[in-house]
Structure formats: structure tokens, C-alpha cells
Structure 1
Amino acid sequence: MVDSSTRITGIGSALVDLLINETDGFLEALGKEKGGMTLVEHHDQEEILGRSTEKPVVVPGGAACNTIVGTAKLGGEARFIGMRGTDAYGDQYEAALRRFNVEPLFNVSTSTTGRVLSVITPDAQRSMFTHLGASVEMDPLKVLPELFTDTAIAVIEGYLLFNPDLMLASLKSAKAAGAKIALDLASFEVVEASRPILADIIADYVDILIANEDEAKAYTGFTDESAALKALSKNVDISVLKVGKRGSHVAANGRKIRIDPQKGKEAVDTTGAGDLWASGFLYGVAHGYSLEQSGKIGSACGYEVCQVVGAQVPDKAWDRIKQLL
């Protein structure tokens, strides 16, 4: 039976992840600052792949989709709204979501399905080169409140800020459907590019705001964790500051909560770490867990995804995470 009171619905870019392991020198030769995301064309991705001797690992991806898959793997009701191509990548993407017990609501384009090429350096950091493909063709006029029916929390992908009309349509429809809105700031490049509209969007629509250190600095101007968290808390019910290996901070109702990281092995790849942290945290919030416990679930999800290449956590790891529930 569907428990619509806890459903989490995500809207964002349907993107296939292509993952390669490379050196810092490889990244420097590309002129790319480590971390973050850069928009490129399809041929740019092919050129980068041509410079590498590594065969890419291919998995379903996209920030909001990673989060939604994680909530489904935890046993929650999950839905994803996006736009894909009619190519084999698009078919595989939708089929994978169904296997993961995610309800896919796709519009389909004759364009190619979007792809993200992630270059993973020896410190497990990933630097992303994104070709949005069909995902940019989502029509804001078709993003209606009924897509968010019976949704507790709507996860609005921060990358939609590159398309202000689509972002506003998503926010308005989710809010009209009665959902609480969670926004992850996605990357410092997104914050910098959307600065003219970001503060107003957060004040008018966002209930849960999530950022890492780089994103928080770009948005608030603060490097001090306490000051950044306080600034992130303005105009939202819950704010989250993720600080990597040091864990995370959550603020709500005047309280500041420190969430310790899960200890264990060193990270293999940080692809999807923030997305999966959000899976656990938002699952906990939607299901009535305390903020402390929700943060603990988020930390476990973030830790486990860092033990594999890509954002797909293996079933044995999900079994370990579910012990926290």
C-alpha cells in the first residue's frame, strides 16, 4: 500500500554517469578546477574520454535521481520527474528506476539522454563535465501540481537554477501540491551563476536547504562553519551544512545539531556522496525521525556510497544502513 504521507518526489536532470579514474595532472591539463560541475557539449566529453586510457563505468545518475533512488532503497515511496531521450541510454535509465522501485514520470525527447563525465582523482574527489542533452528540454508549462500529488517532500535539484523558468515552475507546482520543498545547492558554480535570483527563491519557497562548504561559502560569503550555518538558516525551517569527512551540521528552530561522520574505510569515490546523504536525511525527516537520527542515517548513506565507484550503493550496504532504522 502506498504511504503518500511519506512519499519523496524528485525533479531534475536525467543524466547517465560516465566515471573514469585519472590523475591530478590529467585534470590540470584540462584546465578544470577540482570539484564542481562544468557544462560542456557532447563532443567535449568525447574529447576528454579520448585523452584517457580508462574505460568509463556507466551508471544511472543525476543529483535528484540519486537522492530518490536512495530513498526507495531505504524502503520509502519514491517518484522521479525528468526528461530523457529515446536512445538506449534513456531506455536503460527508466528500466533501472523501475527495478529500484522508483515511479518514473518521464517526458521523452528525440534528443540524446544527458550524460555526466566524472573524472575521479586519487583523493576520491570528482570533477564533472555535464552535457544536459534531452534534460534541458523539459517544458515548464508541463510541470504541473499533479506531478507532485501526495508528496511529503519535493526534492528540487539545484541544477535547475540554470533554467530559471523550469525552477520556478517546479517550486510553484510542488508548493501548490502541499509538499515541503528541499533544495540542495548542487555546486558552487550553480550558486555563483544564480546569485541574482537565489535568495528570493529560497525565501519564498524552500523549507529545507542543503549545502556543502563550497556552496555555503559561495552563497553566504562565510568560511566559518557557525556563521555559514546561521546564514543558511535564514528564511528556511531546516538548514544543513555538510563538511565532508568532519560530518555535518543541522539547524532548526534555533537549535544547532552536530552530526558526526560514520567512521570506517577511506573513500574510494565521492560521486553521489551529497545526494545519498540527502536520501537518508530526507527519508528520516519524512518518516518522523529526529533530526539527529535523520542525520545519522544520512551519514551512513554518504559513507557507504563513498566505498564504491559511482552512486549505486550495493544491497549489502543498504542492509547495514537499514539496521539504523
Structure 2
Amino acid sequence: MIEKRITRITGIGSALVDILINESDQFLTNLGKEKGGMTLVEDKDIGQILAQTIHTPVIVPGGAACNTIVGVGNLGGDARFIGRRGNDDYGSAFEKQIIKCNVEPIVSISDSPTGKVLSVITPDAQRSMFTFLGASTELDPKLIFLDMFKDTAISMIEGYLLFNKDLMMAAIKAARAAGSLIALDLASFEVVNASRDILEDIIKDFVDILIANEDEAKAYTGCEDEQKAIGIMSQHVTYAVLKLGKRGSCVSHNDTITRIKAQSGNDPIDTTGAGDLWAAGFLFGIAHGFSIEKSGQIASACGYEVCQIMGAQLPCDAWTRIKKLI
């Protein structure tokens, strides 16, 4: 009897609702905020900012790991997400929407409000984010069990969990005990710099797939040279991925570096979730046993398509185009 290949990808991270609005540079100036930054705010602050816009916001599930797992689900993959939400309308909508995207939710409920990220998108497609983490920060190591990662090929650990070492280690150890590979996306150069004291040991001892963009790779390796950076990234992992934006990506595996071209086409409208969706395509391919080239091609298509819309939730026609590559 031929055993069925395990292809499930389980993600753990912040259960956030993305609230997206198109606004002018002047809107940010009036708020006293610099373009492109991320500001931690209270729930009421998001309401006050929304009260100042005349545009109707787009509201979709968010959070880095969630975006990736929703992408896997929409590709037709076996997808599961672990997080914590509030007992409110935003939280209920979050869970219902990821279920519609073929994702199995393991989402505990808190009395705190659901976390939110308000992204103000200016005409140059840059995002300026106002983040209220809310219930998402209350995901506790005691809530993590081995069974959550049962029958999982790859566990996607959100880089932001590095801010909660106990939670990250609980997730990694449960996933590893369940027989899963560990994928870590470094999330941001700020995360890398803030967690340097633990990051190297975690990567060396537990991580199989390491994903970073140029800024994150530079922060982790100290190298601006791409070849040197990916060489250092690949020292302790099976797959090292360096995302290069419009220039595509590099994947190091078995001492071989494969260059993946970015998909060409229209200029980006909004880059929300581009890296997250890239990871969805790549991990989907690896979990299904595809070549690095094919996995990278699917990843590039996911990254391109999400830049053509507001937010990280692709419409059906985009997924139809991407699935032709599978």
C-alpha cells in the first residue's frame, strides 16, 4: 500500500484583521506620522484615524503567518492556522474568512479585542501601519500542544514570535515532536536586531527553512553582498531563501544556489502581504515535492498577483492563473 504524502502546512502567529485605506501623503502629515513606518497604537486610536478618512476601508484577515497559510489554502493545500482572537465581530469575521479560504482554524478566544493593523496606502503603494496587537499577544505557551501540529509537513513560525521566546520554543518543540519541518520567516530587520541573542541558536538547532528579504538578511548576516549573505544563511538549514523584490529571489539547497526570476507585468498597487504570499507558494511547492524552480515560480506568481490588489487576499481569477503553474 502506497502511503499518502503529508502536505499540510501549519502556521502559528498573530491573528490580526487588516484594515486598508487609500490616502494621500498629506493624510499622514496631518496625523504627524512618517511614511512607511509601523506604529503601535491602542484600539481607540485606530477608530480615530478611520473617522478622518472619507474612503471605505477594505477589511480582510491579516498577520504574516496567517497571510501565508491563507495563501496555501487558496492554492488548494492542506492548511491550518494557530492563533488567538477576540470575542467580537472582527474576530468572528477573521475566523469565518479563513475557513472560506480552506484553512482549518485552531483559534482560541480572548476577552480582549481582536488585533488590528490599519494600513494607510499612499499613491506610491507604500504602507504606513498602525498596529493594535490586542488578543493576538495572549497566545500562551500553555495553549500549545503537539496535536496542533499532527500530520504537518511544514510548520510556518512567524518571525514576530521571537518577541515571545517561550511561545516560540513551545511551538517549535511541539512541531518538531510531531515530525514537522520548521520554516521561519524573519519578519523584519527590527525583529532580527531585537532578537539577536536567541535567533542564531534557534536557527542552528531547529530551523529547516529560513526565509528573509534583503534588509532582514543584512541584519542577520552583517553582509550586503547577496552571495555571502545567503551563504551564511544556509550554514545550518536545509533551504535558505533570500527574497530580492523586483529582482526575484535566491534559494540555497544542498550547496547549490538557484535564482528565481520575479514575474514581470504591471507596477504594484499595494505591496501588503507580498512576502507572505511568496512564502505560501514556495512552501506549498516544497511540501508537495516540487522542484525548487517550480516552487519558486509559484511563489513569484503569488507575490506578483498580490501586488496588483489592495491587501493580501487575492480574488478567484488570480488564483486560477497561479494554479495553472501547479
Normalization by structure 1: what TM-score? 0.94
| Corresponding residue of 1:144 | 145
CA-CA distance at 1:27 after TM superposition: 4.1
CA-CA distance at 1:143 after TM superposition: 0.6
CA-CA distance at 1:49 after TM superposition: 3.2
Measured against aligned partners, the alpha-carbon deviations of 1:70-99 in whole angstroms (never above 9, x if no partner) come to 111111101111101110111111111211
CA-CA distance at 1:36 after TM superposition: 5.8
| Corresponding residue of 2:205 | 204
CA-CA distance at 1:123 after TM superposition: 2.3
| Corresponding residue of 2:121 | 120
Alpha-carbon distance change, 297 to 46 in structure 1, aligned in 2, over 3 angstroms: same
CA-CA distance at 1:271 after TM superposition: 0.4
Whole-Å separation in 1 of the counterparts to 2:310 and 2:162:
27
- 2:290 is paired with a residue whose SS is coil
Q: Is the 8 A contact 1:305 1:312 kept in 2?
A: yes
Whole-Å separation in 2 of the counterparts to 1:215 and 1:32:
24
Q: How many residues align?
A: 324
> How much is the aligned-residue C-alpha RMSD, in angstroms?
1.8
| Corresponding residue of 2:261 | 260
1:176 aligns with 2:202: no
1:279 aligns with 2:271: no
Measured against aligned partners, the alpha-carbon deviations of 1:219-276 in whole angstroms (never above 9, x if no partner) come to 1222222222112212111011111111111111111111000011111100010010
Alpha-carbon distance change, 43 to 195 in structure 1, aligned in 2, over 3 angstroms: farther
CA-CA distance at 1:60 after TM superposition: 1.0
| Corresponding residue of 1:22 | 23
Measured against aligned partners, the alpha-carbon deviations of 1:125-151 in whole angstroms (never above 9, x if no partner) come to 223222111111111012111110000
Whole-Å separation in 2 of the counterparts to 1:237 and 1:316:
34
| Corresponding residue of 2:166 | 165
Whole-Å separation in 1 of the counterparts to 2:50 and 2:301:
32
CA-CA distance at 1:56 after TM superposition: 2.1
CA-CA distance at 1:22 after TM superposition: 2.8
Alpha-carbon distance change, 18 to 232 in structure 1, aligned in 2, over 3 angstroms: same
Of 285-294 and 211-220, deviating more is 211-220
Of 41-50 and 234-243, deviating more is 41-50
Whole-Å separation in 2 of the counterparts to 1:213 and 1:44:
32
CA-CA distance at 1:44 after TM superposition: 3.3
Whole-Å separation in 2 of the counterparts to 1:90 and 1:166:
21
| Corresponding residue of 2:90 | 89
Of 300-309 and 221-230, deviating more is 221-230
Name stretches of at least 5 consecutive residues in structure 1 with no aligned partner. none
Identity between Structure 1 and Structure 2 (%): 65
Whole-Å separation in 2 of the counterparts to 1:4 and 1:28:
53
Alpha-carbon distance change, 44 to 220 in structure 1, aligned in 2, over 3 angstroms: farther
Whole-Å separation in 1 of the counterparts to 2:196 and 2:39:
17
- Aligned-partner residue type, residue 46 of structure 1: G
CA-CA distance at 1:187 after TM superposition: 1.3
1:100 aligns with 2:78: no
- 2:211 is paired with a residue whose SS is strand
Whole-Å separation in 2 of the counterparts to 1:30 and 1:216:
32
| Corresponding residue of 1:224 | 225
CA-CA distance at 1:189 after TM superposition: 1.7
Whole-Å separation in 2 of the counterparts to 1:32 and 1:288:
45
CA-CA distance at 1:53 after TM superposition: 4.0
Whole-Å separation in 2 of the counterparts to 1:46 and 1:220:
40
| Corresponding residue of 2:315 | 314
- Aligned-partner residue type, residue 280 of structure 2: S
Whole-Å separation in 1 of the counterparts to 2:249 and 2:31:
32
Q: Is the 8 A contact 1:4 1:150 kept in 2?
A: no
| Corresponding residue of 1:324 | 325
Whole-Å separation in 2 of the counterparts to 1:66 and 1:148:
18
- 1:171 is paired with a residue whose SS is helix
- 1:159 is paired with a residue whose SS is helix
- Aligned-partner residue type, residue 228 of structure 2: A
Whole-Å separation in 2 of the counterparts to 1:31 and 1:145:
46
| Corresponding residue of 1:9 | 10
Normalization by structure 2: what TM-score? 0.94
Whole-Å separation in 1 of the counterparts to 2:41 and 2:101:
29
- 2:6 is paired with a residue whose SS is helix
- Aligned-partner residue type, residue 289 of structure 1: F
CA-CA distance at 1:50 after TM superposition: 4.3
- 2:286 is paired with a residue whose SS is helix
Q: Is the 8 A contact 1:7 1:151 kept in 2?
A: yes
1:65 aligns with 2:77: no
